[in-house]
Amino acid sequence: MKNFINASIIEKLPEKHFRKITEEVLHNLLNGQCTGIYGIPGYGMDYFAKQIALLLEKKFPQIRTILLNPELDNNKIKVLYKELSLFLKTTKIDEISVSHYLENNKIIVILSEVYHWKHKDLFKFLSAVRELNQQNFTVLTVADYTLYKYTNKYLETANNLFTPLRKIHNFDLSGVKRIIKINNEEYKWNTPLNLARKILFLSGGNPALVYCVCMAMYYEGEKILDHPEKLVKYQPLNFRLSEIAKLITILTVEEQIHLGILNNNGTVFSELLSTYIKEIEFEGMDKLFPDLTKTERKILTIFVQNKGKVIDKDQLSIILGQRADTYSEWAIYKAVARVRDKIENRYVIKTLKGRGWRME
């Protein structure tokens, strides 16, 4: 395996940093089972791939491991040929030589940071090699959300590489503390561990967001944690949030819940992401919902600004320009229904009998 693992930080990761999924993936790979990993932006694609590669190198040095980033290596198949020629100790790579080698040797290929199924030639090549000996040639694909949303697209290129699929979840409090400790040791940030719960609330346990929050604290001071509206403007954090927010426009509510962007009750998993979404929505409401009327946009804005809170009929009556002599509950209900229908793929507005409405 090429020695380009950033050992200075990868080696600091506890073996179970990504929890049970690390052990399960290793078990699959060692027993001839390919696996596909996915999650939302910032879950740690590069870290996970490199940690698996490092663990294989340390625990099973007899296994040949190839770590490949399809996005960075231009001629990916050429890179694989080069690695295989080193293993086989010959420049003649064909079915017979590879099959013979795999009779007594195991090769594991780790594809890191896969963002698209466009690497068809690579996938087909790996699939063909796997057909020679499925027990001793396995592939781990560490991808973004596309592996989940467009599973069939991937399987059309190679149906023996990507399953079973496993999702990496947002981290819990203990996971956030681990990230803080690792970053403190690596970057000398000295983030207090007693702030871990607050950082978890802001970041939702997304590793990249945790990292950026700690960085912002180091450069801007601890008090910035009390001002989410300022935090979301911190450039590294703003970029990470934008990557996650993009998914909200292309994923269904069910898909967002599955990936962990939305909690089961429909709330956004991260306070910072929630704040960021409000900021960009007020700036780009026309682009997000071009078919909303001016009045409907005002109604949606009230719900977004007060997400999780009850909006009563009187508040909406004012937006609709109703007076005492023109007040109409029917008109209010119809207005909310029209807005709800137009935003149903992005938001959920629930009717609370006798009380009003609430955006979940």
Does residue 225 lie in a domain region?
Answer: yes
Tell which of 259, 274, 306 closes a domain.
Answer: 259
d(CA 158, CA 11): 33
Beta strand pairing status for 35-38 and 165-167?
parallel
Query: Do 13 and 162 share a domain, yes or no?
Result: yes
Tally of structural domains, the chain: 3
**Using 50, 70 and 90 to split pLDDT, how confident is the model at 282?**
low
138 strand-pairing partners: 108
Helix (H) or strand (E) holding 24: helix 20-30
> If you search the block for the tokens 């007594």, which residue do you land on?
104
pLDDT digit string (tens) for 19-33? Answer: 899 999 999 999 999
Average pLDDT for 65-87 = 87
Q: Cα–Cα distance between 206 and 200 in angstroms, integer?
A: 8
User: Angle, nearest 10°, between helix axes 20-30 and 45-59?
Assistant: 60
Q: Are residues 19 and 161 in the same domain?
A: yes
27 and 147 in a common domain: yes
Helix or strand run (H / E) with residue 142: strand 137-143
- Residue 154 clears pLDDT 90, i.e. is over it: yes
**206-263: per-residue pLDDT in tens?**
999 999 999 999 999 999 999 999 999 999 999 999 999 989 878 887 898 899 998 8
How much of the chain exceeds pLDDT 70, in percent? 95
**Is the bond leading into 41 cis (omega within 30 degrees of zero)?**
no
pLDDT of residue 69 exceeding 70: yes
Q: What is the pLDDT of residue 287?
A: 65
Name the residue among 268, 226, 276, 270 with its Cα closest to residue 251.
268
Query: What pLDDT is attached to residue 63?
Result: 96
**Does residue 5 carry a pLDDT above 50?**
no
238: left (phi over 0), alpha (psi -120 to 50) or beta: alpha
pLDDT at position 1, please? 40
Same domain, 40 and 122: yes
Same domain, 239 and 294: no
Q: Are residues 87 and 230 in the same domain?
A: no
In whole angstroms, give the CA distance from residue 256 to residue 267. 10
* Residue whose entry in the numeric block shows the structure tokens 């395996």: 1
Q: Which pLDDT does position 334 carry in this prediction?
A: 92
184 with 143, same domain?
A: no
**Model confidence at 288: pLDDT above 80:** no
In a domain, 2, yes or no: no
Rounded to 10 degrees, the C-alpha dihedral 197/200/201/205 comes to -160
The Cα 88–Cα 80 span in angstroms is: 12
What is the rounded CA–CA span in Å between residue 250 and residue 255? 10
Its domain, for residue 201, covers 173-259
How confident is the model over 188-217, as pLDDT tens digits? 999 999 999 999 999 999 999 999 999 999
pLDDT, greater one: 77 or 189: 189
Confidence at residue 263, expressed as pLDDT on a 0 to 100 scale: 85
pLDDT for the residue 3: 40
Enumerate the β-bridge partners of residue 350.
358
Q: Is position 58 within any domain?
A: yes
The domain boundary, picked from 121, 140, 167, lies at: 167
d(CA 158, CA 70): 15
Q: Are residues 157 and 187 in the same domain?
A: no
Provide the pairing of β-strand 349-352 with 356-359: antiparallel
Closest CA to 163 of 35, 324, 330, 310: 35
Same domain, 86 and 231: no
**Separation of alpha carbons 3 and 8, rounded Å:** 12
Q: Taking 70 as the threshold, does the pLDDT of residue 278 lie above it?
A: yes
Mean pLDDT of 68-73: 85
**Model confidence at 90: pLDDT above 70:** yes
Nearest to 133 by CA among 162, 159, 104: 104
Answer whether residue 129 shows pLDDT above 90.
yes
pLDDT of residue 328: 87
Closest CA to 109 of 20, 7, 29: 29
Mapped to the 3 state alphabet, what secondary structure does 28-79 carry? HHHCCCCEEEECCCCCCHHHHHHHHHHHHHHHCCCCEEEEECCCCCCCHHHH
Q: For position 11, which CATH number holds?
A: 3.40.50.300
How far apart CA 276 and CA 271 sit, in angstroms, is 9
CA 34 – CA 164 distance, rounded (Å): 7
Whether 6 has a pLDDT exceeding 90, the answer reads no
Q: Are residues 17 and 162 in the same domain?
A: yes
What is the structure's pLDDT at 336?
93
Same domain for 18 and 163?
Answer: yes
Domain boundary among 207, 242, 259: 259
Q: Tell me the per-residue pLDDT of 135-147, one tens digit each, with 9 for 90 and over.
A: 999 999 999 999 9
Higher confidence at residue 348 or residue 35?
35
247, HSE (Cβ side, Cα atoms, 13 Å): 25
Residue 170 has pLDDT above 90, yes or no: yes
In a domain, 284, yes or no: no
- Please report, for the domain that includes residue 342, its CATH number: 1.10.10.10
> Does the residue 124 lie in any domain?
yes
- What CA–CA distance (Å, rounded) separates 198 from 61? 41
- Check whether residue 126 and residue 192 sit in a common domain: no
Predicted confidence band of residue 281 (pLDDT cuts 50, 70, 90): low
Is residue 61 situated within a structural domain? Answer: yes
Greater model confidence, 76 or 31: 31
Does 184 fall in a domain?
Answer: yes
Whether residue 103 lies inside any domain: the answer is yes
Structure tokens at 127: 């699939």
